[in-house]
Amino acid sequence: MSSLDIFFQQLANGLILGSFYALVALGYTMVYGIIKLLNFAHGDLYMCGAFVGFLFLSLVSGLLGESWTGILCSMVLSMLTIGLLGVLIQRVAYRPMLSAPRLSILITALAVSMVLSNGVMALTDGDYEAFNTDLGFEGLEMGNVFITYTQIVLVVSAALLMLTLFFFINRTMYGKAMRAIAIDQDACRLMGINVNRVIALTFFIGSALAGAAGVMAGVYYGSIHFFMGFVIGLKAFTAAVIGGIGSIRGAMLGGLALGLLEAFGTQIPFVGSEWKDVFSFGILILLLVFKPTGLLGKTEIERM
Amino acid sequence: MSETILEIQDVETYYGKIHALRGISFSVQAGEIVTLLGANGAGKSTTLRTISGLNRAARGSITFMGQDITRMPPHDIVAMGLIHVPEGRRVFKGMTIKENLELGSFTLNDDTERRRRMDHVFEMFPVLYERRQRDAALLSGGEQQMLAMGRALMADTKVLLLDEPSMGLAPTMVQSIMKIIKRLNAEGVTILLVEQNAKAALKFANYGYVLETGSIVVKGEAEQLRKDESIVKAYLGE
Ligand SMILES: Nc1ncnc2c1ncn2[C@@H]1O[C@H](COP(=O)(O)OP(=O)(O)OP(=O)(O)O)[C@@H](O)[C@H]1O
Ligand SMILES: [Mg+2]
């Protein structure tokens, strides 16, 4: 392969990986923006999304097959389920803690993460489950670069989900309320905004996006595991910080940036692909040293 | 004969152990401008925050348009038309002026009406129209006050609670804010105005109350309070 071919191949890989990171990072950043909580259980929602999607797919496959119709249908169902699960977690575990010290709610988030991942571990005996689909391996071949249709559809669906979110955040009243709550909750109350409802909605959307990413990851990698949420949770958190935590566009950008960094990190001369995390996280450290607020984060702390 | 639109009865409010309001009662008649005066820390802001539901009254009751709103959440109170412009303006910095105004009409479900109200606000504050696409953080203090008031008027405002709208503003700006308040009142909005600048407030209010450490110590027609040198000296620090 020529180096140009390698470039395009890694670009494609990086975009895929980056869209997963971005989808998960969005939930991280939205929740952080609105209640300043690092929701450590967020990666586990992604994992649960993969399992719920897997479950739905095996239920509907008889009717709709295991191709895109069936996958899309189970993805939507998984998004709804995980969205509701996110709301439930917020209602039961986080909302009563909002006035407690920051550290307590952080520990609660860790506990929720443990409950979810160990719950799924117990249910699945810690086994890998094969996420079987009928998508085949056809794709576009351009010289030595090969991109499967599955990859294309996944990237496009992720982009569509993000566009929809972008539209929602910027164009609808509830989207604007969400941004406003991240700025000043009491002022929002005085606008007639039911703050608790908007917070619940934020959890719903963020969790549903993680659920979607989980199903996509199942489709892409072909197998799922109770531990799959852990690493992506950390990486999505990283992506959110790279982009500037609290910033929606930042999460999208940070996710893509991290995905691309990792993909290209596998190609560094003289070292193996096992160095990719060293490479991408090394860049992260550098970035944060020079721009502590992330790519799109606020450059200064707002004061009255 | 005017009717009572807002009635506060024996209201007590705490911040933890701090007894900020120690049983205050007063009422506002529809169509009036009522001013609430007092030194720093007297409890003026707490009174407004308790009325709009941001703080909970530990005792007493608050009645708005005949309905008990003491335990109602703030967003339901806003939906009834009781709108509070808080101390320090609290505009949404990082959002555009237009978005700020739109949020003021959050409880409204009608885009045509929303546009009509926004036109009305822009007519009242032409400065806001010129900068409608700009970040609210870039406005000057006086312009932010205009935005905060314009945002409040995007709701179907029956009673407007204003917390120190002239704070930190240049004298000419204070005058134009006061003029706007008068105009709003003439358009039918009842106003409860908290001010440090007692003289200015008493000049055009109908009625005044003076708060001191959480209690109302003086009340009366604004005209009389203004003329009474001893009151002005004792409580209003002139
Ligand atoms: N968030 C708070 N926590 C604790 N105490 C508070 C809080 N806000 C106000 N207080 C106290 O409650 C009392 C009344 O405060 P409030 O803000 O209502 O006064 P104010 O009359 O509005 O004063 P100013 O003219 O300075 O705005 C003060 O003693 C103040 O220290
Ligand atoms: Mg005050």
pLDDT tens column, A197-214: 999 999 999 999 999 999
The SS3 call for residue B149 is helix
* Nearest Cβ partner for B92 among A187, A194, A195: A187
Looking at residue B91, the DSSP 8-state letter turns out to be -
pLDDT tens column, A76-128: 999 999 999 999 999 999 999 988 898 999 999 999 999 999 999 999 999 99
Residue with the two structure tokens 């009834």: B80
Q: Tell me the percentage of chain A whose pLDDT exceeds 90.
A: 65
**Residue B98: closest C-alpha in chain A:** A176
Reported confidence tier of residue A304, pLDDT bands at 50, 70, 90 = very low
With a CB cutoff of 8 Å and minimum separation 6, the contacts of B206 are: B29, B32, B33, B34, B221, B222
Instruction: Say yes or no to pLDDT of B229 above 60.
Output: yes
Contact at 8 Å (CB) between B73 and A191? no
Domain enclosing residue A257, as ranges: 3-290
Asked if residue A102 is part of any domain, the answer here is yes
pLDDT tens column, A58-70: 998 888 888 888 9
Reported confidence tier of residue A255, pLDDT bands at 50, 70, 90 = very high
Kindly report the protein residue whose alpha carbon is nearest to atom 26 of ligand 1: B40
With a CB cutoff of 8 Å and minimum separation 6, the contacts of B186 are: none
Q: Cα(A258)–Cα(A260) distance, rounded to whole angstroms?
A: 5
pLDDT tens column, A134-150: 888 888 888 888 888 99
* pLDDT at A303 (0 to 100): 35
Looking at residue B168, the DSSP 8-state letter turns out to be T
Q: Which CATH number goes with the domain that contains A228?
A: 1.10.3470
* pLDDT at B237 (0 to 100): 63
Asked if residue A299 is part of any domain, the answer here is no
Number of domains in chain B: 1
With a CB cutoff of 8 Å and minimum separation 6, the contacts of B168 are: B141
- Chain B nearest-CA distance from A76, in A, is 28
Give me the amino acid identity at A193: I
Q: Mean pLDDT across the stretch B214-234? A: 86
Q: Mean pLDDT across the stretch B72-80? A: 97
Q: Cα(B230)–Cα(B238) distance, rounded to whole angstroms?
A: 10
- What's the number of CA atoms in the CB half-sphere (13 Å) around residue B44? 25
Cβ of A191 and B104 within 8 Å? yes
Which residues in chain B have their CB less than 8 angstroms from residue A171's CB? none
Q: Cα(A273)–Cα(B233) distance, rounded to whole angstroms?
A: 80
Cβ B172 under 6 angstroms from ligand 1: no
Which residues in chain B have their CB less than 8 angstroms from residue A191's CB? 78, 103-104, 106, 151, 155
Give the torsion through C-alpha atoms of B195, A177, A254, A204, to 10 deg: 140
* Residue among A173, A179, A190, A300 with most chain B CBs within 10 A, to mutate: A190
* Nearest Cβ partner for B52 among A190, A302, A304: A190
How far is CA B168 from each of CA A52, B24, B136, B141, B164, rounded to the nearest angstrom? 57, 28, 17, 7, 9
Write out the H or E segment, with its range, that includes residue B76. Answer: helix B74-79
Neighbours of B97 (CB within 10 A): 30
Asked if residue A295 is part of any domain, the answer here is no
ipTM rounded to 2 decimals: 0.94
Centroid of ligand 1 to alpha carbon of B180 (angstroms): 27
* pLDDT at B236 (0 to 100): 64
Averaged pLDDT of chain B? 93
* Nearest Cβ partner for A192 among B79, B94, B137: B79
* pLDDT at B226 (0 to 100): 87
The SS3 call for residue B30 is coil
Lowest mean pLDDT among B110-124, B157-171, B222-236: B222-236
Write out the H or E segment, with its range, that includes residue B221. Answer: strand B215-221
Domain enclosing residue B55, as ranges: 4-235
Cβ B104 under 6 angstroms from ligand 1: no
* pLDDT at A106 (0 to 100): 93
Asked if residue A223 is part of any domain, the answer here is yes
Q: Mean pLDDT across the stretch B106-114? A: 95
This prediction's pTM: 0.92
CA A124 and chain centroid, separation: 23
Q: Which CATH number goes with the domain that contains B125?
A: 3.40.50.300
With a CB cutoff of 8 Å and minimum separation 6, the contacts of B15 are: B46, B55
Reported confidence tier of residue A271, pLDDT bands at 50, 70, 90 = confident
* pLDDT at A185 (0 to 100): 95
Reported confidence tier of residue A302, pLDDT bands at 50, 70, 90 = very low
Write out the H or E segment, with its range, that includes residue B25. Answer: strand B18-29
User: Which of A65-69, B45-49, B122-126 is predicted most confidently?
Assistant: B45-49
Which residues in chain B have their CB less than 8 angstroms from residue A187's CB? 86, 90-92
Number of domains in chain A: 1
